[in-house]
């Protein structure tokens, strides 16, 4: 089993199956894949294997999670799924104290290597939580979002 497989399984514990909550800005969602992000997909019929391929290609790989320490890889992946790849990388750059351009390049990679993995992961999750409290749907989804981050902190 690869690290991506482990993180995907863990992610599904947060994402679950089909929902169509009118308060969710992503709209119709299945396995965490939203109609807003993938307007041409038949979301209701999306299989777990289809979702896994999307997560690998559009989130895990784009965030370069294979290049990150254990725990930070999942934290970044989870955030990218929840808030988008660019925002996830911006929050990582904020935690690192480097220029926030949303591009995971050499500067970001080098900065990650200067921190103990648990320290940067905790800093990252703190930046993520602060960001989420400023989102309009915070009042609706706060409990679930905060638990999602708390579970990651407890596992460090």
Give the CATH number for residue 52: 1.20.141.10
Structural domain range at position 49: 3-154
Residue 143: Cβ within 10 Å count: 8
Q: Is the pTM of this model over 0.75?
A: yes
Q: What is the pLDDT along the chain (156 residues), one digit of tens a residue?
A: 899 999 999 998 877 688 888 877 778 999 989 898 999 999 999 999 999 999 999 999 999 999 999 999 999 999 999 899 999 999 999 999 999 999 999 999 999 999 999 999 999 999 999 999 999 889 888 888 899 899 999 988
Q: What is the pLDDT of residues 47-63, one digit of tens each?
A: 999 999 999 999 999 99
Cα radius of gyration (the chain)? 15
Question: What is the number of structural domains in the chain?
Answer: 1
Cα distance between residue 24 and residue 1, in whole Å: 33
**24 contacts 90 by C-beta, under 8 angstroms:** no
């Amino acid at each position: 089993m690869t690290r991506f497989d482990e993180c995907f399984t863990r992610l599904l514990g947060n994402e679950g199956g089909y929902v169509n909550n009118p308060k969710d800005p992503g709209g119709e969602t299945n396995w965490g894949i939203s109609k807003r992000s993938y307007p041409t997909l038949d979301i209701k019929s999306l299989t777990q294997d289809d979702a896994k391929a999307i997560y690998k290609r559009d989130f895990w790989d784009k965030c370069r999670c294979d290049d990150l320490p254990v725990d930070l890889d999942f934290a970044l992946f989870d955030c990218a799924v929840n808030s988008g790849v660019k925002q996830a990388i911006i929050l990582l750059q904020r935690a690192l104290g480097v220029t926030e351009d949303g591009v995971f390049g050499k500067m970001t990679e080098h900065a990650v290597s200067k921190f103990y993995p648990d320290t940067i992961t905790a800093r990252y999750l703190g930046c993520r939580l602060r960001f989420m409290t400023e989102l309009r749907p915070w009042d609706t989804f706060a409990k679930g979002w905060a638990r999602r981050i708390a579970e990651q902190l407890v596992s460090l």
